[in-house]
Amino acid sequence: MFASVMIGRILSGFFAIKFTDMRLVHAGIAIVVLGCLVLVLPLPLWFTPVCICLLGLGCAPVYPSLIHATPARFGEELSGRAISIQMAGSYVGSILMPPAFGLVAIKTSVIVWPVALALFVGCLLLCVCLLDYVTRKKLHNAFATERIKDILHQVEKMAELRRRLRKERRRERRKNKLKQARIKRKLDRH
């Protein structure tokens, strides 16, 4: 499971270049849902590690993407507080949930694991959708502003490249003129 989370985080880092944070979160949740569905199916026992790897791959992009989108959602001034709340929630969840599920499994059975997992994924999806709904306008404006800054930065790079090319052309012309003048002087001397 932890190896699949690590691999998923590495892959999501590459996908983050092309996709937005929320697309990565939604894709991760979809992969977790797929893992839950496959886990419920009556498949051979050797297939369970594959399902757990799917769960790890799906969970991998969710937390980093939500943390990365926080300044755009809540603004620079509140982002420190919001990120600390997110981190505290993740640590509390990672400390409390395994023993809590262990107690539930002792009282009932391990068979409830896919159901509990599906409930938690449903809660995660609900929270992400509510977060989207509440901060959509601010997030859209932030991404639009970021995109405009990227475009302006690219335009500046292109303008700088044009300036460099013009300078190089001028240098080449001067060098050529100097060479021609030297050649002409040598020919005039002879």
| pLDDT at residue 22, as a whole number | 83
Cβ pair 135, 74 in contact under 8 A: yes
When divided into structural domains, the chain yields a total of 1
**Domain extent at residue 33:** 2-135
d(CA 29, CA 127): 12
Going from the C-alpha of 105 to that of each of 45, 97, 172, the distances in angstroms are: 19, 12, 78
Asked if residue 176 belongs to a domain, the reply is: no
Q: HSE-up of 94 (CA within 13 Å, CB side)?
A: 8
Note the pLDDT tens digit of each residue in 168-178. 999 999 998 88
Low-confidence stretches of the chain (pLDDT beneath 70): 1, 138-148, 190
- pTM listed for this prediction: 0.67
Query: Is residue 166 in some structural domain?
Result: no
- In this structure, is residue 66 part of a structural domain? yes
Judge whether 57 lies within some domain.
Answer: yes
Whether residue 150 lies inside any domain: the answer is no
Amino acid 1: pLDDT: 65
CA–chain centroid gap for 69, Å, is: 9
143 lies in some domain: no
